[in-house]
Chain A
Amino acid sequence: MNQAPVSPTATPATLPPRLAAMRSRIRAGEHRPLRVTDSIDLLGECEAEQLSWPLRVARLTRRMCEAQTVVIDHDERIAFTRTVKRVPEIYPPGTLKALLAGRTLHELGPISNLCADWGMVLGLGLSARRAVALASRRRLAADPAAVEFLDAAIETIDAVLALARRYAEAARQAGRADLAELLERVPAEPAASFHQALQSLRLCHAVLWLGGHYHCGLGRLDQYLWPYLEADLEAGRIDPAGAEELLAEFFISLNKDSDLYPGIQQGDNGQSLMLGGLRRDGGDGVNPLTTLVLRAAWAVALIDPKINLRVDRHTSLDLLALAVQLTRLGLGFPQWCNDEVVIPGLAAAGYALEDARDYTVAACWEFTIPGRGMEVVNIGAVSMPAAADRAIRAGLAAGEPFERILDRVAADLHDQVQVLATASRTLLLPPAPYYSVLMDGCLERGGDLSQGLVYNNFGIHGAASANAADALAAVKTLVYDQGRVAPARLLAALAGDFAGDEPLRLELRTEPPKVGNHDDGADALLVKLFDAFADACAAAGGNGRGGRFRAGSGSAMYYVWLASGHEGMREPAVGATADGRRRGEFFSSSLAPSPSTTVRGPLSVLQSFGKLDYRRICNGGPLTMELADSLFQGADAVAKVALFIRAFVKSGCQQLQLNTLNVDTLRDAQRHPDRHRNLVVRVWGWSGYFCELDATYQNQIIGRHVYGK
């Protein structure tokens, strides 16, 4: 067993003065004037040379690397600062449209929301990856597509190596022999120390973003970096405090360029990493680095990287308590993943057990396998409130029994999944030669990442499930079981957005069972919704890429879009619903009780959502709770929340996001943003600075139910 190098909670983690100053400079944006280049012109040469798509993407990576101005900050020990703001186009808009010819791109286009095999990249180095590409090129010389792909991949490798060389030379000239030595070695060669591994990772990861990729996950950081640290510790090259400082600097560096990353909102960048959990061989993956990462994140206290922690019933309370310190800071992470639920779920979905044990989150919450998953984890979402609402209105109008309404819900979900599945079959993934270098098998077989990997599933989310279950429960209870509400009255009220029948709206809102109270009257309907949704995904068959459709429980922005309508949604906005919700009011986010429900408490919420069969909804999507910050004021509070995490494991829930917030603080932040610039909230799969969010989202966060009083 490894000895923990530091006691997890012995002392609050703090930044040394050098890093405290660096953090302040970055938060103040002092590095932003270094961004001298707005955007480079690439289109001209791509057109003049009539480059193929793969070669255009490779050229993009190369030119972006070349256009970077080298920045060596005087006290930095991990280098790279992006200086080119925008990723340029590689096709004129008209040409791209013709190229797609009936196919569609996912979101912005470039491959996103994945996790590279960082352990492989750091362990081999890019020169070795280049040698693999050259060997494949010789072997596949007769295959022009393979040769073109491999040439493109080699061009990107050379671009990264040239960038590293320029950094090394500038470091020499600046009298920074230490940095120069690092960059003369990595990322070309295998990292030979913890410090080298972090530098290599920083550069290789940053170049992904330069090439237009986004939501680039960092994967199981404590697993793939531990061998380097372990060797350094044994050789006496570093001590735990030194390692913590390097990690903290690495984390600060991840916040430098994140304002340039694409996302719905600032902060929605998916720079996530995973800690702990089982190893591929089934052993416990928690190691001393797990602790150090948590401590470094505690000291840095910024929104990147977003920390995820895998837990099971054996996870020590010390480790949980340390992680809860991050929750207490109000960073919105760690996000907790229950190995006891996730691994069997992935195994049931066809993942090899070793791979299932190796899962991480792609970016927000969806599960993927580093280096082995070319999955599109959020191809779309079904609107559960729309399914329930259409079924209720049609069923009541036709005078049908309640069971028939449930049949209608299942058929509606089936239809919604079919529409998404059909649309997704036209999906076109653009070539990604550099990302291919970082994945398992692409260079070896001479085929681009966009052609697929071991796992090629698509994820569909079931959004706003609690509102849908509550609406069904209200109809079942008040109309069918008790006969208190006539169908015609409910139909009229729904059609008129409850105008003129406020008493009915209040009755619907307060009387029937609600999801979140461990009441089967509502929870059983939630279970039926997800069963029907999982059936629909299973019935959708293959996705045309060697994968299937995974059902999930996240909602991303859908909880707003489904309520108010959005061009990004196929489903129309839902009007007033039978749970007593007026038109336009938000739905629940991911897995959570409806925003208007007053629940008994967080344990009942765990028990409600613990009833779902997560083996059938393995795409991911967290149970989301806000804990009042007053909960953290007691002497034992951190230990109690650690026990709550253990209760989460026992409840059989899959994934948990805990926010800490104080409604008064949020209201004050709306009035006086200057006083709360660093106030962090987690909105869906990400944390963001509250003051930087649109007022709509600010109000939604404030309006969400606050657990504890």
Chain B
Amino acid sequence: MPDAMTGIVFDIRELTIHDGPGLRTTVFLKGCPLRCAWCHNPEGMTPAPQLLHSPVGDRWAGRRYTAPELAAILNRQAPLLTDGGVSFSGGEPLMQAAFLAAVLDRLEGLHVVLGTSGWAPEADFRRVAGRSDLVLFDLKLMDPEAHEAWTGVDNGPIQANLAVLASLGKPFIIRVPLVPGVTDTEPNLRAIARRVRALPEPPPVELLPYNLAAGGKYAACGLEWRPDYDEQARNQVNLQPFHELQLEVRVL
């Protein structure tokens, strides 16, 4: 892989809590093919660096790194990350699959977590998931039409990559963002539970309750936060469908 290959990162955060086991540093890769109505990282949507405007001043979101540069930053932290590792999130990290694979090839002994929507060409998915130690795989909506309506994309590739992931023999976890009245409905959670149950070795499931701060960064991105669902509606943190199918489930 050429050293000149570059990628765009909109944040590197240390001591992240929700991005995998142990002590972790998370790299947020910029750009996402999905447009989830509840997205709380709107600065991760577009691929190019963008200037954010906030009352305390302007700030660039998105900085270009070469793969060796980013790998060097992470490797320099490796001595402190032996009880954890690095995680890649976004945006959708697989939007920059070639760059990410080049970074992963340069990491020295770091445990790698990939957090992904699963929406990517199969080759890209294989390339990155195959170089990861743990995959956090989102399942948002099982109904294809609802998925397209709320995220802007068809969930066919996601389902296909889930099958690929199950065949890789990698540890993985299914993650479900609970959006009031959208993803937290009983039919959707039951459908997700059935899908997970049907996998050869059903992985654990993690439910992420809705975060009311989701709209916080839209204004800075020049976007209007106007969700088509009732944010204040009661969030259904329903473990029953998973328990009924003897799945391991927990709430983050």
The residues of A with any CB-CB pair to B shorter than 8 Å are 518, 600-604, 606-607, 627, 631, 633-637, 640, 643-644, 646-647, 650-651, 707-709
Contact with A along B76-107 (1 / 0, CB 8 A): 11011111100000000000000000000000
List the B residue with the shortest CB-CB distance to A635. Answer: B252
Taken together as a complex, chains A and B put the C-alpha atoms of A602 and B25 apart, in Å, by 10
A646 with B83, Cβ < 8 A, contacts A600-B12, A601-B13, A603-B77 known: yes
Contact with A along B31-53 (1 / 0, CB 8 A): 00000000000000000000000
Whether A647 and B18, one on each chain, are in contact in the complex, defined by CB atoms closer than 8 angstroms, is no
Taken together as a complex, chains A and B put the C-alpha atoms of A627 and B13 apart, in Å, by 13
A601 with B14, Cβ < 8 A, contacts A635-B252, A644-B23 known: yes
User: Interface size (B, Cβ < 8 Å)?
Assistant: 20
List the A residue with the shortest CB-CB distance to B213. Answer: A630
A634 with B15, Cβ < 8 A, contacts A643-B83, A650-B80 known: no
Whether A643 and B14, one on each chain, are in contact in the complex, defined by CB atoms closer than 8 angstroms, is no
Whether A635 and B77, one on each chain, are in contact in the complex, defined by CB atoms closer than 8 angstroms, is no
Chain A residues near B250: list those with CB within 8 A: 635
Chain B residues near A602: list those with CB within 8 A: 14-15
The residues of B with any CB-CB pair to A shorter than 8 Å are 12-15, 17-18, 22-23, 25, 76-77, 79-84, 250-252
Whether B84 and A601, one on each chain, are in contact in the complex, defined by CB atoms closer than 8 angstroms, is no
Chain B residues near A631: list those with CB within 8 A: 15, 17
Distance in Å: Cβ of A93 to nearest Cβ of chain B: 52
Whether B18 and A518, one on each chain, are in contact in the complex, defined by CB atoms closer than 8 angstroms, is no
Q: Say which residue of B14, B18, B22, B84 sits within 8 Å of A604 (CB atoms).
A: B14
Cβ-closest 4 pairs across A and B: A601-B14, A634-B17, A603-B14, A643-B23
Taken together as a complex, chains A and B put the C-alpha atoms of A121 and B25 apart, in Å, by 49
Whether B23 and A640, one on each chain, are in contact in the complex, defined by CB atoms closer than 8 angstroms, is yes
Taken together as a complex, chains A and B put the C-alpha atoms of A650 and B23 apart, in Å, by 13
Whether B15 and A640, one on each chain, are in contact in the complex, defined by CB atoms closer than 8 angstroms, is yes
A635 with B251, Cβ < 8 A, contacts A640-B15, A640-B17, A644-B23 known: yes
Taken together as a complex, chains A and B put the C-alpha atoms of A607 and B15 apart, in Å, by 13
Taken together as a complex, chains A and B put the C-alpha atoms of A635 and B208 apart, in Å, by 11
Whether B83 and A647, one on each chain, are in contact in the complex, defined by CB atoms closer than 8 angstroms, is yes
List the A residue with the shortest CB-CB distance to B79. Answer: A650
Taken together as a complex, chains A and B put the C-alpha atoms of A708 and B17 apart, in Å, by 10
Whether A708 and B15, one on each chain, are in contact in the complex, defined by CB atoms closer than 8 angstroms, is yes
Extra contacts besides A637-B17, A650-B79 (14): CB < 8 Å: A518-B77, A603-B25, A604-B14, A607-B76, A631-B15, A634-B17, A634-B252, A644-B15, A647-B80, A647-B81, A647-B83, A650-B82, A707-B15, A709-B13
Q: Say which residue of B22, B76, B81 sits within 8 Å of A640 (CB atoms).
A: B22
Taken together as a complex, chains A and B put the C-alpha atoms of A627 and B25 apart, in Å, by 15
Chain A residues near B12: list those with CB within 8 A: 600-601
Taken together as a complex, chains A and B put the C-alpha atoms of A651 and B15 apart, in Å, by 15
Chain A residues near B25: list those with CB within 8 A: 601, 603
Distance in Å: Cβ of A324 to nearest Cβ of chain B: 13
Taken together as a complex, chains A and B put the C-alpha atoms of A373 and B143 apart, in Å, by 73
Taken together as a complex, chains A and B put the C-alpha atoms of A709 and B12 apart, in Å, by 12
Whether B251 and A643, one on each chain, are in contact in the complex, defined by CB atoms closer than 8 angstroms, is no
Chain A residues near B23: list those with CB within 8 A: 603, 640, 643-644, 646-647
A600 with B14, Cβ < 8 A, contacts A607-B80, A643-B83 known: yes
Interface centre among A606, A635, A640 (most CB of B within 10 A): A640
Q: Say which residue of A603, A627, A636 sits within 8 Å of B80 (CB atoms).
A: A603
Taken together as a complex, chains A and B put the C-alpha atoms of A606 and B14 apart, in Å, by 11
List the A residue with the shortest CB-CB distance to B14. Answer: A601
List the B residue with the shortest CB-CB distance to A317. Answer: B83
Chain A residues near B77: list those with CB within 8 A: 518, 603-604, 607
Chain A residues near B84: list those with CB within 8 A: 643
Chain A residues near B17: list those with CB within 8 A: 631, 633-634, 636-637, 640
Could you list some 14 contacts between A and B, CB below 8 A? A600-B14, A601-B14, A601-B25, A602-B14, A603-B23, A603-B25, A603-B81, A604-B77, A606-B80, A607-B76, A607-B77, A640-B15, A643-B83, A647-B80
Interface centre among A601, A603, A635, A709 (most CB of B within 10 A): A603
Chain B residues near A518: list those with CB within 8 A: 76-77
Chain B residues near A635: list those with CB within 8 A: 250-252
Chain B residues near A708: list those with CB within 8 A: 13, 15
Distance in Å: Cβ of A222 to nearest Cβ of chain B: 26
Chain B residues near A606: list those with CB within 8 A: 80
Chain A residues near B251: list those with CB within 8 A: 635
List the A residue with the shortest CB-CB distance to B77. Answer: A603
Chain A residues near B14: list those with CB within 8 A: 600-604
